[in-house]
Chains A and B, each alone.
With several copies, the nearest count.
Chain A
Amino acid sequence: ADVEAHFAAVIAADQKIEPRDWMPEAYRKGLVRQIAQHAHSEIIGMQPEGNWLTRAPSLARKAILLAKVQDEAGHGLYLYAAAETLGVQRDELYRMLLSGRQKYSSIFNYPTVTWADVGAIGWLVDGAAIVNQVPLCRCSYGPYARAMIRICKEESFHQRQGFDILYTLARGTDEQRAMAQDAVDRWWYPSLAMFGPPDAESTHSARSMAWKIKRFSNDELRQKFVDMTVQQAGVLGLTLPDDALAYDAGSGHWRYTAPDFAELAEVIAGNGPCNRQRIDHRRRAYDDGAWVRESAAAYAAKRAREAVPA
């Protein structure tokens, strides 16, 4: 059909598919799933860092953290809006999050145990997110690509802030330095796992590549992240917890120990340290807020009726 040819041509020409364009149902569904999961991750991701808002150790750090967590809510909003261009409703997606039918990034199922974890999340988790997301700025679906451009800018800001927290701690007292190293030790492998299972076991990937939603394989992105992070760890003066890390002059890459994918599978299956807590938290906020949303809707309806001339 014409529409199919048009779709294929746009993809081939590295141009953008827009909401009104015809698209294969699998393309649409895959995108909804991916964008929703991405949006959910932003929203759930507010919790581990939000955990330190009231306890941040300086007012400047408190302000930066508050702005960051606020950005995450904002990212969630852009992304839900991008998903809505594909004919779904935010509330519907949100309920799928709450009921567990849609996922969010498993990285947010680990607890933030100390203040240094806020730094490690910024440096490692946002760092990994950026490596994952920068290629999405060129993704074939226009609204998603445009949302990602905005998000990536802010994320790289967040990553620098996380780096800066760790940099300060690493140059602080012995206890602060130990706190920073401990956080890196705990967040390193979970961050590596953010790139998903190894290419050999990855589902969805081939078609996503063909459709130019995904541009690099999980292992390619993971390698890129390792190469980048090893350098930065040197600047921080902190150690990555992998004795096997070694520069391979031949490939120009750092060799590393792969994360424990069995653990990743467990966390994805719902058995990470904080899965229940994270979803319970969101459900509680949603349920506690029901009367507020209902009252606001009733108020809006009254105003709308009044606006209609009698």
Chain B
Amino acid sequence: MDRFGYLVGLGDDALVAAQRLAEWTANAPELEEDVALANIALDQLGQARLLLSYAAEVEGAGRDEDSLAYQRGEREFRNCQLVELPNGDFAVTIAKLLFLATYQHGLYAALRSSTDRRLAAIAAKATKETAYHVEHAALWTRRLGDGTAVGHERMTAAVEQVWPYTHELFSDWVPHGLVAAGVAVAPGTLRADWLSTVESALAEATVPRPDDGWRPGGGRDGVHTEAMGYLLAELQYLHRIFPGAAW
């Protein structure tokens, strides 16, 4: 795991999140939300493209964003499992987004001062974008959690279901050398701020903060949930049929 692996990890988080969010298009509870989720998906996809393109350059093996996205096997994907979980109902999607975007926002804000200037520039753009994602998710968390009884019940269940997967966000997967060199951020250092943002978002939404217990992981080592294979089959199928074709 080196700078390439680090960039790919961040890029895969964004790519897989974008893929899941795009599944909502034409399926959202209201038109405004079709627009909003597509917007967020576009931001995440944009971040993925910048990160994977840069990773490919760093690698210097002639790959590009598309060969990384479309021609790696499941075991080579480095995203956290949180992003690959199926969308579930709207509350599950909002819980996933709240947890992911809050993590990404803290991460990118810190990476703005990365010694890797290219990464710092990507992070600067992404910090602004993810601020909106956090706000949007937090608003919906309140609307669902502090709206009707059904909304509250579903939002609470969603937060409980997704919570265990947040631990992986802060796992110690980033090479210490990269952190020491000021290129990367040690994920564990992001958790305190993350918790404070998330806990207050949940509190405002009257949704209980789950206990920490089960801590699934493995995504950073390319061991994914069984949902991932189906996601990749859909994502990659067409590209894989015609290797080397331009689109």
Give residues of chain B (108-128) contacting chain A, Cβ–Cβ below 8 Å: none
State whether A58 and B239 are in contact (beta carbons under 8 Å apart), knowing that A292-B151, A295-B150, A298-B148 are contacts in the complex.
yes
Chain B residues with CB under 8 Å of A295's CB are 143-144, 147-148, 150-152
Chain A residues with CB under 8 Å of B27's CB are 281, 284-285, 288
Chain A residues with CB under 8 Å of B74's CB are 113-114
Min CB distance A137 to B, Å, is 23
Give residues of chain A (282-297) contacting chain B, Cβ–Cβ below 8 Å: 284-285, 288-297
Chain A residues with CB under 8 Å of B60's CB are none
A61 to B154, CA, bound (A): 35
Chain A residues with CB under 8 Å of B239's CB are 57-58
A173 to B225, CA, bound (A): 25
Chain B residues with CB under 8 Å of A274's CB are 225-226
Pick the contact of A291 from B70, B151, B233 — CB < 8 Å? B151
A173 to B35, CA, bound (A): 35
Q: Which of A25-33, A44-52, A190-198, A256-264 contacts B (4 or more CB under 8 A)?
A: A44-52
B238 and A296 contacting across the interface, CB-CB below 8 Å: no
Chain A residues with CB under 8 Å of B49's CB are 59-60, 63
A270 in contact (CB, < 8 A): yes
Chain A residues with CB under 8 Å of B25's CB are 46, 50, 53, 66, 69-70
State whether A289 and B225 are in contact (beta carbons under 8 Å apart), knowing that A113-B75, A298-B151 are contacts in the complex.
no
A218 in contact (CB, < 8 A): no
Chain B residues with CB under 8 Å of A62's CB are 18, 22, 45
Chain B residues with CB under 8 Å of A60's CB are 49, 66
A277 in contact (CB, < 8 A): yes
A63 and B39 contacting across the interface, CB-CB below 8 Å: no
B148 and A51 contacting across the interface, CB-CB below 8 Å: no
Give residues of chain B (63-90) contacting chain A, Cβ–Cβ below 8 Å: 65-66, 69-70, 73-75, 89-90
Q: Which of A72-80, A99-107, A122-130 contacts B (4 or more CB under 8 A)?
A: A72-80
Size of the chain B interface, CB-CB below 8 angstroms: 65
A69 to B41, CA, bound (A): 12
Chain B residues with CB under 8 Å of A63's CB are 42, 45-46, 49
A55 and B144 contacting across the interface, CB-CB below 8 Å: no
Q: Is the interface of A mostly helix, strand, loop or mixed?
A: helix
B38 and A270 contacting across the interface, CB-CB below 8 Å: no
Pick the contact of A113 from B65, B143, B224 — CB < 8 Å? B224
A277 and B226 contacting across the interface, CB-CB below 8 Å: yes
B229 in contact (CB, < 8 A): yes
State whether A66 and B42 are in contact (beta carbons under 8 Å apart), knowing that A277-B226, A299-B142 are contacts in the complex.
yes
A73 and B245 contacting across the interface, CB-CB below 8 Å: no
A291 and B30 contacting across the interface, CB-CB below 8 Å: no
B30 and A55 contacting across the interface, CB-CB below 8 Å: no
B75 and A111 contacting across the interface, CB-CB below 8 Å: no
A289 and B90 contacting across the interface, CB-CB below 8 Å: yes
Residue of B nearest to A51 (CB): B226
A176 to B19, CA, bound (A): 24
B34 and A70 contacting across the interface, CB-CB below 8 Å: yes
A58 to B75, CA, bound (A): 21
State whether A55 and B38 are in contact (beta carbons under 8 Å apart), knowing that A168-B247, A295-B150 are contacts in the complex.
no
Pick the contact of B45 from A46, A66, A297 — CB < 8 Å? A66
State whether A57 and B238 are in contact (beta carbons under 8 Å apart), knowing that A73-B35, A114-B75 are contacts in the complex.
yes
Give residues of chain B (124-167) contacting chain A, Cβ–Cβ below 8 Å: 140, 142-144, 146-148, 150-152, 154
Chain B residues with CB under 8 Å of A168's CB are 246-247
Min CB distance A185 to B, Å, is 11
A266 to B229, CA, bound (A): 26
A302 in contact (CB, < 8 A): yes
Chain B residues with CB under 8 Å of A270's CB are 214
Chain B residues with CB under 8 Å of A43's CB are 31
A248 in contact (CB, < 8 A): no
A94 to B154, CA, bound (A): 26
B28 in contact (CB, < 8 A): yes
B59 in contact (CB, < 8 A): no
Chain A residues with CB under 8 Å of B229's CB are 51, 55, 113
Pick the contact of B146 from A172, A281, A302 — CB < 8 Å? A302
Most A Cβ at <10 Å: residue of B29, B150, B238 = B29
Min CB distance B47 to A, Å, is 11
Closest 7 CB pairs of A and B: A289-B29, A295-B151, A295-B147, A70-B38, A292-B29, A299-B147, A298-B147
Extra contacts, 20 of them, besides A114-B75, A173-B245, A302-B147 (Cβ < 8 A), are A51-B226, A54-B235, A59-B65, A60-B49, A60-B66, A66-B25, A67-B42, A69-B25, A69-B38, A73-B38, A77-B35, A113-B224, A113-B229, A115-B238, A115-B247, A168-B247, A285-B26, A291-B148, A295-B148, A299-B151
Complex A-B: 25 CB contacts under 8 Å = A46-B25, A46-B26, A50-B26, A53-B23, A54-B22, A57-B239, A57-B247, A58-B239, A59-B48, A59-B52, A63-B49, A66-B25, A111-B225, A115-B247, A173-B245, A271-B213, A276-B214, A277-B225, A277-B226, A285-B29, A288-B29, A293-B30, A294-B148, A294-B151, A299-B147
